[in-house]
Structure 1
Amino acid sequence: MKNILVFNSSVLAENSVSRVLVAKTVAALLVKNPGAQIIEHDLGCDPIPHLDTATVAGIRGVPESEAEDAARARSDELVAELQAADVLVVGSPMYNFSIPTGLRSWFDYVLRPGVTFQYTASGPQGLLADKRVIVIESRGGFYSAGPAQSRDFQEPYLRALFAFMGLQDLTFIRAEKIGSGAEARAAAIENAEKTITSVV
């Protein structure tokens, strides 16, 4: 393993559970791969600009303006990082049953037809060489089973987006019920840390 691409997308800074667990995951990976290069994006504190009318053609069309050229250049840079990575570590708290908008914006820049996926006669095909993806999910409630599972639009969405680009080696590590008080939060972090140790 040479390259580890890391994303934090929580907007809670030092109060973020997912950030704690992302750091734990990266540290464990470095123990196994001490020479690995790390590229890190903080999508919560330093988000990628959302696409809008002035920039969308830089990703979805032919750039003709300065703003569109800038969006295309940012996309090219992010795609190159993704292509070069051996492992992705993605911190994704659940916001309103889905993912943070900062992480969604990153996907908007790297989901490029003809670059990371293509449409074929048999349907869409991912163009990225498969690589390991470790996703840290923090959740205020319990969504991995039971009556609230139907409101989990976070994990199925992430699975679909990564698979659309050809990434199938996905590991999801969940810290759930962190909104149920200090003891529940501590237990969730402890259980997630144990999982990190075992899977890394």
Structure 2
Amino acid sequence: MAKLLYISANPKGAGKSKGMQIGEAFLASFLASQPDTEILKIDLFDFDMARMDADLISARGKLAGYGKSFDELTETEKEKILKMHKLADEFIDYDYYVFVSPLWNLSSPAVLKTFLDNLFVTGKTFVHTANGPKGLLTGKTAIHIQTRGGLYTGMPMEALESGDRYLKIALRFLGIEVLDSVIAEGLDAFPQKVPEIVADAKTRAIAAAKEMARIPVEV
């Protein structure tokens, strides 16, 4: 059975978040094509995960850079590095990933960056080679559904957008195939057109879900 992880980063919740409404349209379309897919939804604003603090940075450095063993870590370092590895292991167990987030101040909500930080685990999700880092999460597919208040695509502001851009860079670094993002923009610039903008994004999300569902996975 294929597995899909749906990751949302919006404190408004599905009832008020336009992005999550678009995401639900995506899921419905995906399940229509792959009804047996196991789906897990996580809300990053209500999700327990390790954060890149001094202890976690120290633990990673000791294990990866200084060749120390797990037993040589402090108890706090052990607790936090295990928490990071647990999240990475659970993430690896999925075949498809759907990220749903708004564009906030040119980037994504901080909780999404924190989540991604937990996925960069040497030996689990990528390795260092003579030719540089190599992602290990091949054979997996992801997509980003993003809402924007302003207009960025094809506009002067496009070069400043770093939320969708960074997410795709990070996932591709880990070896994941990333489909074209579904972007709904201009929601604040043109409030009278919000229903039209959301409806158009849902149409594109439905098509994108069908495309993702056609990509085979090894189960």
Q: TM-score, normalising length from structure 2?
A: 0.83
1:197 corresponds to which letter in structure 2?
A: I
What is the match of residue 3 of structure 1? Answer: 3
1:10 corresponds to which letter in structure 2?
A: N
2:75 corresponds to which letter in structure 1?
A: E
**Do residues 169 (structure 1) and 178 (structure 2) align?**
yes
8 Å contact kept, 1:47–1:102: no
Task: State the shift of 1:16 in Å.
Answer: 1.6
**Do residues 72 (structure 1) and 73 (structure 2) align?**
no
Q: 1:65 to 1:28 in 2, by over 3 A?
A: farther
What does 1:105-144 correspond to in 2, within 5 Å? 105-144=114-153
CA distance in 2, matches of 1:32, 1:60: 44
Query: How many residues are treated as equivalent by the alignment?
Result: 200
CA distance in 2, matches of 1:66, 1:12: 36
8 Å contact kept, 2:9–2:45: yes
8 Å contact kept, 2:59–2:78: yes
**Structural RMSD (CA):** 1.9
Q: 2:98 aligns with which of 68, 71, 89?
A: 89
1:75-103 deviations in Å (ceiling 9; x for gaps) = 22222222221110101211111111111
Greater C-alpha Rg = 2
8 Å contact kept, 1:8–1:92: yes
Ranges in structure 1 where 5+ consecutive residues have no aligned partner: none
Task: State the shift of 1:189 in Å.
Answer: 0.9
CA distance in 2, matches of 1:60, 1:127: 21
**Do residues 145 (structure 1) and 154 (structure 2) align?**
yes
Q: 1:191 aligns with which of 200, 204, 213?
A: 200
Task: State the shift of 1:11 in Å.
Answer: 2.1
1:12 corresponds to which letter in structure 2?
A: K
Report % sequence identity.
25
Q: TM-score, normalising length from structure 1?
A: 0.90
- SS of alignment partner, residue 55 of structure 2: coil
- SS of alignment partner, residue 7 of structure 1: strand
- SS of alignment partner, residue 55 of structure 1: helix
1:133-159 deviations in Å (ceiling 9; x for gaps) = 121011111112111111111222112
Task: State the shift of 1:108 in Å.
Answer: 0.8
1:21-68 deviations in Å (ceiling 9; x for gaps) = 222212221121222111221002335342211333344543523332
What is the match of residue 24 of structure 1? Answer: 25
- SS of alignment partner, residue 90 of structure 2: helix
- SS of alignment partner, residue 124 of structure 1: strand
**Do residues 55 (structure 1) and 56 (structure 2) align?**
yes
- SS of alignment partner, residue 166 of structure 2: helix
CA distance in 1, matches of 2:201, 2:48: 26
8 Å contact kept, 1:6–1:40: yes
Ranges in structure 2 where 5+ consecutive residues have no aligned partner: 64-69, 210-219
